Each structure stands twice: as structure tokens, then as C-alpha cells.
Amino acid sequence: MITFKNNNWQPTTVAFIQSLVWSKKDVTITFFCQEKEEEKGWPNRQEVFVAVEVQFKNCTQFKLNFEGDTLQPAFGFDILAVSANGWENIHFQIEENENDCIGFYCEAIEVLSKVSVKL
């Protein structure tokens, strides 16, 4: 189940991972997101981003490959429904699209907050 507390959010708009907090089997990630505009480069640091805090519950097979100590590029990712595979407590697979910086499976996803930010 994916729960949205504050408006809908699309994982394809993720430009950066700002922070990641691991708590037992849950992971809370703050993403900086920005709509893609064809006539402008993306991501555009001159434009406003949306900081989206997402909690992934009951995570397993967590893979993390970050470099440096600044914002981690994560140019969109996929949320794949894998419930049909019959795995106990696993309903989603999370995959980052370009940099392969993060990947895992989880039971549920909850969008906790969404606010506009300027970098």
C-alpha cells in the first residue's frame, strides 16, 4: 500500500537524495524533486525543488552506493509492484533509474511531507 498524506508525488521527478534515516527495518528518505521541463536543463538548481519525505516500511535487501558528501544524484526511480511474487511482507521493489545508487524491497510506502525549497 502507498499512502499519500500530502498530495500526490511522482518518483520520476526525483533529482537528489538529501537525507536517509534507517530505523529498525524502516527507511525514511528526503528527496529533492523537480518537474522536468523540456526547454530547460534538468535538474535546474536555479529553480525551486520540492522536498518530499517518504517512509519505506519493512525494508529488506537494501543496497546503497553513495559517493561524496553532498546531495546524491538520483535521477528518478521506479516503484514496482511485486506482490504477485508471493514474498511474505514484500509488496514493492524500489530501483533508482540512472546511477544505481539505491535499491531495496519494502512492504509499504508513506509520503510524510512535501514542501518547496530553494537550493
Q: Is 0.95 topped by the overall pTM?
A: no
H or E element in which residue 93 lies: strand 92-96
How far, in Å, are 77, 90, 92 from residue 65 at the CA level?
Answer: 14, 22, 20
pLDDT value, residue 119: 86
What's the mean pLDDT in 1-22? 76
Residue-wise pLDDT for 83-112, tens only, equals 888 888 899 999 987 778 899 999 999 999
Rounded Cα distance between 83 and 78, Å, is 15
Longest CA–CA separation in the chain, Å: 45
What's the mean pLDDT in 8-19? 84
Which residue has better confidence, 54 or 13? 54
Q: Which of 109, 114, 116, 108 is nearest to 6 (CA)?
A: 114
